[in-house]
Amino acid sequence: QEEKVDLDISGMTCAACSTRIEKGLSRMQGVSDANINLSTETGTISYTPGVVSVDEVIEKVKKLGYDAVVKQ
């Protein structure tokens, strides 16, 4: 029952930023994969609903110092 969500992420200025977000999100319970693209300012996160929510993923990105919204 794994799902994927696409995010628009702003505030990344160097390649280490995208790596920081990937590592931070990957450490969360319920997140199985996080691919962040610096040049397109997007990310795809694989997660298990019920273990972690999209809101919690977005809050984590914000705690790391960036902003994120669900990609429309």
Which chain residues interact with ligand 9UX by CB under 6 A? 13-14, 16-17, 20, 65
- Indicate the residue among 4 and 15 with the shorter CB distance to ligand 9UX: 15
Amino acid (one-letter) located at 47? Y
CA distance 7 to 42: 5
With respect to ligand 9UX, which residue has the nearer C-beta, 26 or 48? 26
Q: Taking the complex as a whole, how short is the minimal distance between the CB of residue 16 and ligand 9UX, in angstroms?
A: 3
- Of 19 and 53, the one with the shorter C-beta distance to ligand 9UX is 19
* CA–centroid distance for 62 within its chain: 10
**Rounded Cα–Cα distance for residues 28 and 23 (Å):** 9
